[in-house]
Amino acid sequence: MSESTFDRMVEEGHAPRPARFGKIVLWFRPALVASAARLSGVKMEADSAAGPSEGCNEWDAVLKL
Single out the residue of 24, 22, 45 nearest to residue 33, CA to CA: 45
State the DSSP string of the chain.
--HHHHHHHHHTTSSPPPEEETTEEE--HHHHHHHHHHHHT----TTTT--GGG---HHHHHHT-
Q: What is the pLDDT of residues 1-52, one digit of tens each?
A: 899 999 999 999 989 999 999 999 999 999 998 898 888 888 777 654 445 5
Residue 46: per-residue pLDDT? 60
Model-level pTM greater than 0.75?
no
- The residue that leads in pLDDT, 54 or 21, is 21
State the Cα angle at 21 between 19 and 25, rounded to 5°: 55
Q: Mean per-residue pLDDT for 50-65?
A: 64
pLDDT for res 42: 80
